[in-house]
Structure 1
Amino acid sequence: MASSSGKATTASSDGSYPLQNSGSDEDLQRIMDQRKKKRMDSNRESARRSRMRKQKHLDDLKAQVSQLKKENNQVMANVSITMQHYTKVEAENLVLRAQLGELSQRLESLNQIKVFVNQPVDSGAGFVNESYYEGGTEWIDELMINSLSCLYANKHILASSDMIQY
């Protein structure tokens, strides 16, 4: 407020025109009310913008939650599929290990038979000159083929004295 010649000059709340104040409290009250109204309007607008920003942020967070849930479901589905494949492979692995053990036992049995068959025959018993021994390895080959055919039938090969005929 500037005072010149005893009268107060004030600018209005929008600053467009000066008011002449004759010193009355009514004019001063009216100016204060205008400023208060302008502040209230400004605060309302600011609060409205703040609510809009807050609502936009909330909407963005909801969209993000929805997207993350969708991604989580996809990851969980992939994990489930992977676990199913793992379980299947593990079961196949167990079967193959069991088959390996069984085949190893069969191979060991066949090797024992081979060692037994290839042992020299006691010459004191007169077997060296027998015709089945002189014929070479034909009967050994036949024995091996017959023994191997048992592998496909999932039967254990047991070495016994009945296998070799004299």
Structure 2
Amino acid sequence: MASSSGTSSGSSMLQNSGSEENLQALMDQRKRKRMISNRESARRSRMRKQKHLDDLASLVTQLRNENHQILASLNLTTHKCLTLESHNSVLRAQVNELSHWLESLNQIIDFLNATNGAFGPPGPLFEPDGSCLFNNVPCLTQHMTVGLSGF
């Protein structure tokens, strides 16, 4: 019996060691699968991260281009605005000058109407060559001709 008990305990040890080996192999296989799965998951994560970085880099490039276009448009608009302000300033000065000329001409007309016939019969104000018949008006007509030539 001792031999059978020794055999029986020997086969039981063999079974135990076989089970332990199978269990170890199974655990090793699961460990390898988990490691492979983790590596694949990390690879996918790196790919997602790289795609996200590429998308962000593309967005930065697009926004920089839009920014340059907006700045160029702003500079052009600012230049046009300054040009218009300059032209408006010139036009205001011309309006002011023309208003003074008109006021002077109205004063001359008022004077002529008030003195109608006092210095002789009313006649034309200008000679056929365009010069004025009055001594104090040639300066005014010269300014008018020079000022109006800019239009």
TM-score, normalised to structure 1's length?
A: 0.66
Alignment of 1:51-62 (within 5 A): 51-62=46-57
One-letter code of the match for 1:97? Answer: R
1:99-152, Cα deviation, whole Å (9 max, x unpaired): 11111011101111110111145xxxxx64xxx622x331x2443894434313
Structure 1, 145-154 or 69-78: larger mean CA deviation: 145-154
The equivalent of 2:102 in structure 1 is 107
1-side partners of 2:75 and 2:123: how far apart? 57
Alignment of 1:61-80 (within 5 A): 61-80=56-75
Correspondence for 1:35 among 17, 30, 37: 30
Correspondence for 2:41 among 22, 42, 46: 46
What is the number of equivalent residue pairs in this alignment? 123
2-side partners of 1:97 and 1:152: how far apart? 18
2-side partners of 1:60 and 1:37: how far apart? 34
Percent identity among equivalent residues?
49
Matched, 1:81 2:67: no
2-side partners of 1:73 and 1:148: how far apart? 53
Alignment of 1:82-97 (within 5 A): 82-97=77-92
Higher helix share: 2
Matched, 1:148 2:134: no
Q: Is there any run of 5+ residues in structure 2 with no aligned partner, and where?
A: 1-14
SS of residue matched to 2:112: helix
One-letter code of the match for 2:72? Answer: A
Aligned-pair CA distance for 1:62? 0.3
Aligned-pair CA distance for 1:86? 0.8
Aligned-pair CA distance for 1:25? 1.8
RMSD value over aligned CA atoms?
A: 2.2
Q: Is there any run of 5+ residues in structure 1 with no aligned partner, and where?
A: 1-21, 122-126, 155-166
SS of residue matched to 2:120: helix
Aligned-pair CA distance for 1:61? 0.9
The equivalent of 2:4 in structure 1 is none
One-letter code of the match for 1:133? Answer: G
2-side partners of 1:151 and 1:120: how far apart? 24
TM-score, normalised to structure 2's length?
A: 0.72
